[in-house]
Amino acid sequence: MNGKNENIVVEIGEIWATKSSPLSPNGGQLPEVQNPVHVVILLDDKDAYNKSYPDVRIAPISNKVDQASDMDLMLSAEENPLEKDIIIEIWNSQPMLKANLSQLYGKLSDKLINQLGRLQLKLLETEIDISDIKTGAPVVDESDPRLDFQEREIEKTLYLRGPFNELVEKLELDSQPLLTLEQIQEMHKRLVAIGDCIYTAFTLPTPAGMLSKTDKKRQIYENEAVKAEIYKEGNSLFLELVAKAEELTGKFVSVTVSSAIETEDLEKFIEWEQNGPEEIISHKPIDEGRWLVIKLGKTELRFDNPHDRNVIDQIFKDIRLEIFDD
């Protein structure tokens, strides 16, 4: 991959343009993007997934201020370096390769950076006070037309997170087995369980402004410590985990799927990573943004197909997440 921009220094609160011809970690450039978006940096590359191809966590920016939810930070033209009214889509935060940033426009004030941080915490901790922050009204149900806007924004920003997901997949394929059976058994002696959760589709509480249609993501796990969703990019299946407790930062995660489907049948639906559904261990720890992506495997199952969704629900009916130190 050329043009890795290894010397670019990014800081939280900076606003960047993104490349119209994104670079891929597999070499070359991806198809040209019409109207690439601007983004704000939420987390720098200090805890990058891979130091050779560092990633940052960003929130996309839109000028569709009439579409703002309570998880969008609304800024006037006088408050930001783009000099126009904008919303920062906290609900749509995602990773991207630093190499696909193109031009720095400026940095938000410390006051606004603080507001960005509190809105991110609001997604996890309802007691956070955001009464002084200018946002839109909450999304309360799936009849809200702003959900259609959010769906379009998710699709529009695929070019940002897509190369990062390629990187995760590339590193999984290139890596040697991480642990021997003896090492795994020893690790289990140190595991700290954070609870089990039986999944029922969309009955778990979802933060306002984060309602997702069923053909994009499936929330499969939530307790007082973490929330987990699964999503697809191409045929690759990923688990996205958000930690609610700050003390989980820097810890690794093990995923065990105790499915209602027989093990031999599971392999017909999902080509699992590592040890299969019995144990998939993260390659990196939960980062300072309290966020982690784990590749689960590959599947032809489609989230927009009702039958396939039922199969997915059965597969992930009962899962266990365990947290441990390196």
**Confidence class for position 315, pLDDT limits 50, 70, 90:** confident
- Say whether pLDDT at 236 is over 90: no
Judgement on whether residues 199 and 285 belong to the same structural domain of the protein: yes
Judgement on whether residues 24 and 128 belong to the same structural domain of the protein: yes
Judgement on whether residues 60 and 183 belong to the same structural domain of the protein: no
Query: For residues 89-120, b (16+ Cβ closer than 10 Å) or e, as one string?
Result: bbbbbbbbbbbbbeebeebbeeebbebbbbbb
- Say whether pLDDT at 104 is over 60: yes
Strand partners, 198: 318
- Say whether pLDDT at 136 is over 90: yes
More confident site: 30 or 57: 57
Judgement on whether residues 146 and 186 belong to the same structural domain of the protein: no
- Residue 1 in any domain: the answer is no
Residue-level pLDDT at 197: 26
- Say whether pLDDT at 123 is over 60: yes
**Confidence class for position 288, pLDDT limits 50, 70, 90:** confident
Mean pLDDT of 135-146: 88
Judgement on whether residues 200 and 145 belong to the same structural domain of the protein: no
- Residue 8 in any domain: the answer is no
**Confidence class for position 216, pLDDT limits 50, 70, 90:** low
- Residue 216 in any domain: the answer is yes
Look up the domain containing 214 and give its range: 176-324
Mean pLDDT of 27-37: 85
Written as one string, the DSSP assignment of 181-222 is HHHHHHHHTT-EEEEEEE--TTTS---TT----TTTEEEEEE
Residue-level pLDDT at 126: 59
Total Cβ atoms within 10 A of residue 58 = 31
**pTM of this structure:** 0.62
Residue closest to 23 by CA, chosen among 171, 154, 166? 166
CA distance 249 to 270: 29
CA distance 74 to 208: 16
CA distances from 26 to 165, 233, 283, 310 (A): 11, 15, 19, 34
With contact defined as beta carbons under 8 Å apart, do 289 and 324 qualify? no
Q: What percent of the chain clears pLDDT 90, i.e. is strictly above it?
A: 26
Judgement on whether residues 139 and 249 belong to the same structural domain of the protein: no
Residue-level pLDDT at 168: 75
Residue-level pLDDT at 220: 81
- Say whether pLDDT at 110 is over 90: yes
Q: What is the mean pLDDT of the chain?
A: 79
Q: Residue 146 belongs to a domain with what CATH number?
A: 2.30.30.110
CA distances from 20 to 31, 34, 148, 163 (A): 8, 7, 24, 13
Judgement on whether residues 187 and 312 belong to the same structural domain of the protein: yes
Residue 153 gets which letter from DSSP? H
More confident site: 84 or 287: 84
Residue closest to 100 by CA, chosen among 181, 173, 156, 16? 16
**Confidence class for position 38, pLDDT limits 50, 70, 90:** very high
Q: How many domains does the chain have?
A: 2
More confident site: 128 or 91: 91
- Say whether pLDDT at 200 is over 50: no
Query: For residues 224-255, b (16+ Cβ closer than 10 Å) or e, as one string?
Result: eebbbbbbbbeebbbbbbbbbbeebbebbbbb
Q: What percent of the chain clears pLDDT 70, i.e. is strictly above it?
A: 78
Judgement on whether residues 117 and 250 belong to the same structural domain of the protein: no
Q: Phi then psi for 257, rounded to 5 degrees?
A: -105, 115
Of 152, 186, 210, which residue constitutes the final position of a domain? 152
Mean pLDDT of 261-266: 68
Of 103, 136, 152, which residue constitutes the final position of a domain? 152
- Residue 108 in any domain: the answer is yes
- Say whether pLDDT at 204 is over 80: no
